[in-house]
Amino acid sequence: MFRAIKKLYEEYKAYVRVDLVMYAVMILLIILYALYTLLAD
């Protein structure tokens, strides 16, 4: 029982980490795009 829970937790942790990295990249791209448009004007 505990072993299965631990396995699920390890897999879930990896997925959460990937999601956080994707969100961080998206936010960085949005900020860079906003700065680019402001400087272009």
Query: Burial code of 5-40, b = ≥16 C-beta within 10 A, e = fewer?
Result: eeeeeeeeeeeeeeeeeeeeeeeeeeeeeeeeeeee
pLDDT of residue 2: 85
pTM of the complete model: 0.56
Go through the chain and tell me how many residues it has: 41
Q: Where are the alpha helices (DSSP H) in the chain?
A: 2-40
Phi and psi at residue 25, in whole multiples of 5°? -65, -45
**Predicted pLDDT of residue 33:** 96
pLDDT in tens, 1-41: 789 988 988 888 888 888 889 999 999 999 999 999 999 87
Distance CA 26, CA 33 (A): 10
- Structure confidence at residue 37 (pLDDT): 94
